[in-house]
């Protein structure tokens, strides 16, 4: 991965960095980057979590086992100091059913618990991973947009953001909040659109889809990880909230066509095979200007480049991970 400046590298060397959600899609990429940058990297995880995305660097990281909703300082006895917290752990990212109460416990109470830990350690930076779903729907969404939660997942992510803001205001905790849009790349969860489409396309299998008219703002995971690293190092960003988006809208239909083309696949996409969700969000794209001007970040990898890299990764690695088998 390329970083925009060498400062990011020196910023993390030998620093104690805690990642929650480090076994997840974005989190595991971030953990890899931190290890490469020489950080002492701690990953908070549950004993039961599957660490398949971190299998190649398990000896270079320290796992802290604990339940986010039930943390106390004893869980962090391994830590003498803590410089940076990246808080990515959340329930409901995957569409498996989580009750409203579970979403609240993990995404709101869990955020409060980890904020308390960060406050105790007087960290130099706390980076909160929010979500584009906080906006409801819309095009060219700015960070100052009123929040319109269309689901309890969205409401819980905004609630975690509000708690982060209150720790920033009341305790001067140096926080930065990020709102990634539709992130894709290697290691994305197998049930999601892009992995499913790539795997099907590579197998020349038919692809069952909704009508595909909904648009999204796709952003490549390596760009997103760079955004997280800059959020932890850019001093102007403190207290702020930033979209991680490309600013470009692409329909699901166009996306699927790109994948079929890039894989030279014989697959036929069956648009309309599935109904749209009752709660379908027709448009969801962000305005990247604040991130560019304050965070010094912009998405640098085009959708075509990012899809090509992702497809190449699947071609090389799909068989190593049974989860991706059709």
Interacting residues toward a second copy by CB under 8 A: 100-101, 104-105, 108-109, 112-113, 115-116, 136, 144, 146-152, 154-156, 158-159, 162-163, 165-167, 169-170, 279
Say how far apart CA 302 and CA 267 lie, in whole Å. 24
Nearer to a second copy, 33 or 178 (CB): 178
Tell the smallest beta-carbon distance from residue 249 to a second copy (Å): 22
Which residue's CB is nearer to a second copy, number 147 or number 262? 147
Output 12 or 167, the one with its CB closest to a second copy: 167
Kindly state the smallest distance separating residue 161's Cβ from a second copy, in Å: 9
The pair of structure tokens assigned to 159 is 């609630």
> Rounded distance, CA 324 to CA 190, Å?
6
In the bound state with a second copy, the residue whose beta carbon lies nearer, of 79 and 147, is 147
* CA distance readout (Å), 294 to 104, 119, 161, 181, 302: 31, 24, 19, 18, 22
Q: Which residue, 123 or 256, has its beta carbon nearer to a second copy?
A: 123
Give per-residue burial for 18-28: e unless 16+ CB within 10 Å, then b: bbbbbbbbbbb
Cβ 101 to a second copy, closest distance in Å?
A: 6
Please say which residue, 241 or 265, places its beta carbon nearer to a second copy: 241
CB of 172 to a second copy, least distance (A): 11
Distance CA 111, CA 31 (A): 19
Q: How far is the CB of 70 from a second copy (least distance, A)?
A: 10
| CA 233/CA 272 separation, integer angstroms | 45
- Identify the three-state secondary structure at position 139: strand
Looking at beta carbons only, is 134 or 188 nearer to a second copy?
A: 134
Structure tokens at 222: 């390596």
CB of 142 to a second copy, least distance (A): 11
CB of 150 to a second copy, least distance (A): 5
Q: Which residues pair with 269 in a beta bridge?
A: 207
Residue pointed to by tokens 């060219």: 140
DSSP annotation of 282 reads S
Cβ distance to a second copy smaller for residue 71 or 256: 71
Asked if 60 contacts 36 with a C-beta cutoff of 8 angstroms, the reply is no
Residue that has been written with the tokens 């205001």 in this structure: 169
Looking only at Cα atoms, what is the longest distance across the chain? 58
Q: Which is nearer to a second copy, 102 or 213 (CB)?
A: 102
Residue 236, number of CB atoms within 10 A of its CB: 11
In angstroms, what is the minimal distance from the CB of 179 to a second copy? Answer: 15
Q: What is the DSSP string of 237-277?
A: GTT-EEEE--S--EEHHHHHHHHHHHTT----EETTSSPPP
């Amino acid at each position: 991965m390329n970083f925009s400046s060498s400062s990011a590298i020196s910023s993390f060397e030998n620093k104690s960095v805690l990642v929650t959600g480090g076994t997840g899609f974005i989190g595991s990429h971030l953990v890899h980057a931190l290890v490469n940058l020489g950080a002492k990297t701690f990953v908070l995880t549950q004993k039961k979590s599957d660490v398949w995305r971190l299998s190649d660097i398990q000896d270079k990281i320290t796992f802290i086992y604990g339940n986010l909703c039930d943390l106390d300082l004893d869980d962090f006895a391994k830590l003498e100091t803590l410089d940076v917290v990246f808080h990515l752990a959340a329930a409901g990212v995957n569409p498996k059913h989580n009750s409203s109460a579970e979403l609240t416990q993990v995404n709101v109470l869990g955020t409060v618990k980890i904020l308390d830990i960060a406050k105790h350690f007087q960290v130099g930076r706390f980076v909160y991973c929010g979500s584009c779903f906080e906006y409801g729907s819309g095009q060219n969404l700015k960070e100052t947009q009123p929040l319109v939660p269309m689901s309890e997942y969205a409401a819980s992510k905004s609630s975690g953001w509000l708690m982060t803001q209150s720790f920033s205001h009341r305790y001067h905790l140096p926080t930065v909040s990020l709102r990634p849009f539709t992130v894709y790349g290697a290691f994305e969860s197998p049930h999601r659109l892009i992995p499913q489409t790539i795997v099907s396309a590579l197998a020349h299998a038919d692809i069952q889809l909704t009508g595909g008219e909904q648009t999204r703002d796709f952003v490549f995971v390596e760009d997103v990880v760079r955004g997280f690293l800059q959020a932890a190092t850019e001093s102007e960003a403190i207290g702020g909230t930033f979209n991680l988006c490309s600013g470009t809208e692409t329909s699901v239909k166009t996306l699927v066509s790109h994948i079929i083309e890039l894989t030279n696949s014989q697959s036929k996409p069956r648009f309309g095979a599935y109904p749209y969700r009752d709660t379908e969000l027709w448009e969801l794209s962000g305005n990247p200007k604040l991130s560019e001007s304050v965070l010094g970040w912009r998405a640098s990898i085009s959708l075509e480049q990012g899809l090509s890299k992702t497809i190449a990764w699947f071609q090389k690695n799909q068989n190593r991970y049974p989860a991706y088998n059709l």
